[in-house]
Amino acid sequence: MTLDNIKEEILNSKNIVILTHEVPDGDAIGSSLAMYIGLKQLEKDVDVVIPKFSKTYKFLPAVDEIKEQGRMETYDLAIALDCGDIKRLNGFSRYFEYANCKISIDHHEANTMFADYNFVNPTAPACAQILITVLKALGIEITKDIGTCLLTGIITDTGGFRYQNVKPETFEFAAELLTRGVNVSEIYKKALQTIPIEKFELRKIAMNRVEILEEGKIAFTYITKKDEEKTKSEDHDGIVEIGRDIEGVEVSIFLRETGENEYKISLRSNENVNVSDICLMFNGGGHMRAAGGTINLPFEKAKEKIIAECKKHLSEN
């Protein structure tokens, strides 16, 4: 079984690197830090490499131990968490590729099974939920610190237990983490509610630009590099949800300028449209209700194309 192989590989490795997807969210960072703290318990020489992340997650245990670069080129083992596609490891895929053994633990439906051992459960609402099982299998004690990281992953990826991905087990896992002393109200406040003023300013720009199309079924907004420079924020987390939460909207589209004629797409849907399918056509993927991809076109053309694709999927439902 994959879990047995994963357990054996981890126990037999000394130098381990933990990696996650670019523009990491609470699940990506929470899962990475939970794994990091757990492997430290097993006295492994472990690094967690995340080049850039939102200061929202600065409250997490062990966050100051996150490295921008690895300590070596070739690790015995690389573990990718919450990442459906090796391309999303970004510039840090080399640590993954060079490692002697490669493990992926993930919950993305469109996972490309890019590792030697892939432990993927698309029905899990967060990678952090899968990790509870993995850490326990390794004999790691789920401490308050590990629990805080894991519950942050679960809370952020379920929007605070509000999304359709929530299962009875999600509450069982959460309940178990609470028994370890995890402060759920602090996690809610820090990970979901409080936002830095710069982020608020960026969100305000996006909010003012929201267009409602297709008889109220599609919401569209965008952010440019200039906006990011002006507000000194690159934290666009939550922007795509502005459109999704408008009554009657089925698909919310958010474009973010990432280069010349290059935009990162974020999609959300409410009930019918599988946005992961749409994003597969844009070099991306994700989940049924939340997915992303990339489009290489000038702004107006990019906007037209993504709206047209969403329209097509709306009419298929």
Q: Which residues bind Mn ion (CB under 5 A)?
A: 27, 82, 127, 157
Residue 163 or residue 299: which is nearer to Mn ion going by CB? 163
Residue 291 sits in the site that holds ligand 5GP (CB under 6 A):
yes
Q: Which residues pair with 15 in a beta bridge?
A: 45
> Burial code of 39-77, b = ≥16 C-beta within 10 A, e = fewer?
beeeebebbbbbeebbebbeebbbbeebeeebeeeebbb
Q: How do beta strands 218-223 and 211-213 pair? A: antiparallel
Quick one: 46 or 295, whose CB is closer to ligand 5GP? Answer: 295
21 binds ligand 5GP (CB under 6 A): yes
CB-CB contact of 10 with 17 (8 Å): no
* One of 101, 124, 218, 290 touching ligand 5GP (CB under 6 A): 290
Contact pick of 3, 42, 62, 110 for ligand 5GP (by CB under 6 A): 110
**Structural tokens at position 276:** 């992961």
Residue nearest ligand 5GP, CB atom distance: 292
The CA distance from 236 to 240, in Å, is: 8
Q: For residue 199, state whether it binds ligand 5GP (rule: CB under 6 A).
A: no
Whole-angstrom distance, CA of residue 291 vs CA of residue 267: 5
Our CB check for Mn ion shows the closer of 287 and 303 to be: 287
Tokens of 193: 């509610």
Residue 176: exposure state from Cβ atoms within 10 A (0-12, 13-18, ≥19): middle
Q: Pattern of binders to ligand 5GP over 75-94, x per CB under 6 A?
A: ---------xx--x------
Which stretch, 47-55, 219-227, 241-249, 285-293, contacts ligand 5GP (CB under 6 A)?
Answer: 285-293
Stretch touching ligand 5GP by CB under 6 A, among 8-16, 60-68, 189-197, 292-300: 292-300
Residues at the interface with ligand 5GP (CB under 6 A): 21, 84-85, 88, 110, 240, 266, 284-287, 290-294
